[in-house]
A = this chain, B = another copy of it.
Amino acid sequence: MALQDALDALSALLGERLSRSKPDLEAHGRSESHFAMTPPDAVAWPETTREVQEIVRLCARHGVPVVGWGAGTSLEGHALAARGGVSVDFTRMNRVLDVRPEDMDVTVQPGLTRRALEEELRATGLFFPVDPGADASIGGMAATRASGTTTVRYGSMRDNVLALEVVLADGRVIRTGSRARKSAAGYDLTALMLGSEGTLGLITELTLRLHGRPEAVAAGVAAFPGIGGAVDCVIETIQMGLPMARIEFVDAASAAAFNAYAGTDLPERPHLLVELHGSETAVAEQAELFGALVAEHGGDAFEWSTREEERRHLWRMRHNGYYAIMAAHPGARALVTDICVPISRLAEAVEQTQADIAASGMPGPILGHVGDGNFHATLIVRPDHAGDLDTAKGLAHRMAERALRLGGTVTGEHGVGMGKTGYMAEEHGEGWAVMGAIKAALDPQGILNPGKLVPGN
């Protein structure tokens, strides 16, 4: 049998670093989200590009699916082995290969997590900005074109990956991009790989742009009487061109969950959480301007601080937002939505979504990277309530349709995975067929992460 032959050969290659044990398979068959357990047939832990290449070659020879696995934090079942096969876990390829402060770039292996990278860079005065709420792997973040709280200022993975090494479906290894800051030398294969969710190749090395730590950083919180004022304040801040480093929205329900989880005492009302980067004077000037906008939109006094301790506390609280919400619903699963709309349509998108959630009776705190027009509702699905998943799916579906109606996208940052494939035709029209043609050209056997993203896959 083809699968057995492939696994025998992989065992010979990897020894104990190929596992078929039930716990390992189940650990790679589970996602953060509501999807059913979908275990692979085996899990491989390569340590070198060469080994990844061999794994892919062997799987290609036997027609066995290959699915990359970073930290498994993706929210649409991206890394689940929908058609079985081999889960390629990058945890052992987690080294920083080269930090070059003089060029403000760094080369890393894909299994490195963003927090580990942050640690490694601490002494350099440089930082890597993209920060999803989970401690995701850099390879997984590239594969999903992730973004985070600082994207409004520093961009997403699309803007912060300079070059990649990728193992293709036939085992060839390519290098895309270079360390030059820009290039017009042909098709942008780096951008094509970013967001391809392991369906076009496995990323084995990444060169990232770094940014200098700003001279001064201020962070603060403002509470608003209602969603409308908070969102309008964001819209005006962006339109005025205030260079916010972060501008995050959390609704009253999220604020309550934060209080319970992190011991904070936020009023249970909508908030904006912001951060400002620049010189001492620039930061003070921006804080004053932003404070005036908050007041204009009916918010409480904007309180801010440049004390590192307070800032850390604030962003730890925000990054733990999902875990705080889940902690308030022990045993529940979440369906996390993720739409992004043009900024002028943000207020109606958030308000209609909140009204819809309220009408459903389902808990669904809203938070998001509103400076980009992107927000999430975390819909709470109780394990023993048969109707919950359908209710949540209905709400998520109406959010997705709303995003498209308002000129936006069904996923601002989480990606397609198993959960959003059904919207691709509507969002992209014939463009989706073009994605399928590219997939067929680069992976004619369809062994890379099958069952996701492209038509008929």
Interface residues in A415-442 (C-beta closer than 8 Å to B): 415-416, 420, 423-424, 427-432, 434-435, 437-438, 440-442
**Contact present for A184 and B414 (CB under 8 Å):** yes
Looking at the complex, which of A16-24, A169-177, A388-396 is the stretch in contact with chain B? Answer: A169-177
The interface residues of chain B lying within 8 Å CB-to-CB of A440 are 441
**Contact present for B372 and A424 (CB under 8 Å):** no
A173, A185, A441 — which one has the most chain B CB atoms within 10 A of its CB?
A: A185
The interface residues of chain B lying within 8 Å CB-to-CB of A438 are 187, 192, 438, 441-442
Does A254 touch B at the CB level, under 8 Å? Answer: no
Does A102 touch B at the CB level, under 8 Å? Answer: yes
The interface residues of chain B lying within 8 Å CB-to-CB of A146 are 184
Query: What separation, in Å, do the CA atoms of A428 and B186 have in the docked complex?
Result: 9
**Contact present for A192 and B182 (CB under 8 Å):** no
**Contact present for A344 and B102 (CB under 8 Å):** yes
- Please tell me the number of chain A residues within 8 Å of chain B, measured between CB atoms: 90
Query: What separation, in Å, do the CA atoms of A292 and B237 have in the docked complex?
Result: 33
Does A214 touch B at the CB level, under 8 Å? Answer: yes
The interface residues of chain B lying within 8 Å CB-to-CB of A147 are 182, 184
**Contact present for A180 and B407 (CB under 8 Å):** yes
**Contact present for B413 and A174 (CB under 8 Å):** no
Query: What separation, in Å, do the CA atoms of A428 and B165 have in the docked complex?
Result: 11
**Contact present for A188 and B191 (CB under 8 Å):** yes
The interface residues of chain B lying within 8 Å CB-to-CB of A180 are 340-342, 372-374, 403, 407-409, 412
Does A103 touch B at the CB level, under 8 Å? Answer: yes
**Contact present for A186 and B437 (CB under 8 Å):** no
Known A241-B211, A282-B282, A409-B185; judge A429-B175 contact (CB<8 A): yes
The interface residues of chain B lying within 8 Å CB-to-CB of A204 are none
The interface residues of chain B lying within 8 Å CB-to-CB of A374 are 180-182
The interface residues of chain B lying within 8 Å CB-to-CB of A428 are 174-176, 185-186, 189
The interface residues of chain B lying within 8 Å CB-to-CB of A185 are 409-411, 415-416, 420, 423-424, 427-428
Nearest opposing residue in chain B for A172, CB measure: B430
Query: What separation, in Å, do the CA atoms of A253 and B182 have in the docked complex?
Result: 26
**Contact present for B195 and A184 (CB under 8 Å):** yes
Query: What separation, in Å, do the CA atoms of A298 and B358 have in the docked complex?
Result: 66
Query: What separation, in Å, do the CA atoms of A15 and B51 have in the docked complex?
Result: 61
Nearest opposing residue in chain B for A158, CB measure: B188
Q: Which of B200, B409, B414 contacts A178 (CB 8 A)?
A: B409
A196, A414, A416, A434 — which one has the most chain B CB atoms within 10 A of its CB?
A: A434
The interface residues of chain B lying within 8 Å CB-to-CB of A173 are 430
Does A145 touch B at the CB level, under 8 Å? Answer: yes
Q: How close is A130's CB to chain B, nearest CB, in angstroms?
A: 11
The interface residues of chain B lying within 8 Å CB-to-CB of A235 are 102
Q: Which of B155, B183, B416 contacts A412 (CB 8 A)?
A: B183
Does A149 touch B at the CB level, under 8 Å? Answer: no
**Contact present for B103 and A344 (CB under 8 Å):** yes
Query: What separation, in Å, do the CA atoms of A158 and B187 have in the docked complex?
Result: 11
**Contact present for A416 and B158 (CB under 8 Å):** no
The interface residues of chain B lying within 8 Å CB-to-CB of A158 are 182, 188, 191
Q: How close is A435's CB to chain B, nearest CB, in angstroms?
A: 5
Q: How close is A414's CB to chain B, nearest CB, in angstroms?
A: 6
B-contact 0/1 string along A101-133, CB 8 Å cutoff: 111110000000000000000000000000000
**Contact present for A343 and B103 (CB under 8 Å):** yes
Does A60 touch B at the CB level, under 8 Å? Answer: no
Known A189-B431, A416-B186, A442-B437; judge A181-B373 contact (CB<8 A): yes
Does A1 touch B at the CB level, under 8 Å? Answer: no
The interface residues of chain B lying within 8 Å CB-to-CB of A195 are 184, 186-188
The interface residues of chain B lying within 8 Å CB-to-CB of A102 are 235, 239, 343-344
Does A151 touch B at the CB level, under 8 Å? Answer: yes
Does A453 touch B at the CB level, under 8 Å? Answer: yes
The interface residues of chain B lying within 8 Å CB-to-CB of A239 are 101-102, 104, 212
Q: What are the 4 tightest A-B residue pairs by CB atom distance, in nearest-first order?
A: A191-B191, A212-B241, A441-B441, A183-B409
**6 further interface pairs, Cβ-Cβ under 8 Å (given A188-B188, A437-B441, A437-B442):** A104-B343, A172-B430, A178-B408, A182-B374, A187-B435, A187-B438
